[in-house]
Every structure is written in structure tokens, then in C-alpha cells.
Amino acid sequence: MTSSMSNLVKILEGFNPFVEEIDEKEVKITISSDKVVAVLETLKSNGYSHLSLMTCIDWIDDNQLELVYILFSWKNGGKFLVSTRIDRNDPKFVTVKELWPVARFYEREIHEFFGVEFEGNDDMKPLFLELWDEKPPLRKDFDPRDYSRKKFPDRKYEKDVIKEAKIFRGEING
């Protein structure tokens, strides 16, 4: 952790975070979900103004979804990962589109692939999938193989030893 980053971590102490140092310039902060927006605001006003990624992880055994915001600073090249966990059965969170307008699209994507509702962001049209008719596909209990088998038929493969031998010997063109 560089000195400017540890100063920032001290400022954030009031939010009661769990701080992990991943790398020299990368720090992960885990906080409870009601303090996320305040932490993001603090980080943004201290130079971490670039939202490089917002993503979600499904922890099916803990019955929780983890939301991660990755903030980047163009001043010193540091990165903050702000992470929080929400309930998996009733996934709701607040939008951060007022802080970063680009978050609208990340939120649409997370809504589409994990089924998280973002309050305040009412543009929740599907972004990538068209006419999706199942549960959100990146949830761990979704079985892509089963779905693929149901929707996209396979080619049947019949073993023909003689033909294969002929191809192998170069007599016919497979």
C-alpha cells in the first residue's frame, strides 16, 4: 500500500471496513451494503474517479451475491476494490448512476446475468441476450449444458471404422 492509499484507508476507518492488501497498488475493502455509496463517494472525491468495472459474483453456498466496484486513480495508478454482499434470494441494491453514468450499463448487465434489481435505475432492458426465457444464466444453479441440449440439437455421430481407416490411409478425403 502506498502512503497516499493508507491515508485514504484511515479516512475510511469510520465505515468499519475489512481491508485486504492485494498488491502494492491494489486494496480491497469489504463493507456492509448500506455504506457502499458513502464509501464510493469518498473515494471518488479523493481521486479515485474512474469506475473501471462493476461486477457480481454468485456465492451459492453462502446464499449471497457479492457486488464489486473497481475504482482507479489516474493520479497515482492505484486501485480500490469495494466489495459488499447482498442477499441472494431477494437481490436488491441501489444504483450508482448518479456518481458514474456508465454504471447504467454495468447494472443492466448484472441485472441480466444475475437478476439483481437496482433501485433508481429504471432502464433494465436486456443488454446482450435476446428473448431470454430462463433464470439468469450466470447464477451457479443454472445448468448451461441442460439448456443447450434442450434448445440446440446436436449432431449425431456414428462410428464407421472402415471409412475412418480409409481416411487414415489417405484413400478418400474425409
Cell numbers of 48, please? Answer: 479515485
User: What span, in angstroms and rounded, lies between the C-alpha atoms of 135 and 114?
Assistant: 8
125 binds other proteins (CB under 8 A): yes
Query: Which of 133, 141, 158, 171 is the binder for other proteins (CB under 8 A)?
Result: 133
Minimum Å gap between C-beta 154 and other proteins is: 5
Minimum Å gap between C-beta 112 and other proteins is: 12
Estimate to the nearest angstrom the gap between the alpha carbon of 154 and the chain centroid. 31
φ, ψ at 96 (rounded to 5°): -115, 25
Site string for other proteins, 135-164 (x = CB under 8 A): --x----x-xx-xx--xxxxx-x-------
Q: How far is CA 32 from CA 12, 37, 59, 64, 150, in A?
A: 13, 11, 16, 13, 40
130 binds other proteins (CB under 8 A): yes
CA-based nearest residue to 20, from 44, 43, 4, 1: 1
| Stretch 42-81 residues interacting with other proteins (CB under 8 A) | none
φ, ψ at 19 (rounded to 5°): -105, 130
Q: Which is nearer to other proteins, 69 or 112 (CB)?
A: 112
Minimum Å gap between C-beta 53 and other proteins is: 22
168 binds other proteins (CB under 8 A): no
Query: Which of 129, 160, 163, 165 is the binder for other proteins (CB under 8 A)?
Result: 129
User: What span, in angstroms and rounded, lies between the C-alpha atoms of 171 and 174?
Assistant: 9
Minimum Å gap between C-beta 149 and other proteins is: 8
Estimate to the nearest angstrom the gap between the alpha carbon of 21 and the chain centroid. 20
Residues that bind other proteins (CB under 8 A): 125, 128-131, 133-134, 137, 142, 144-145, 147-148, 151-155, 157
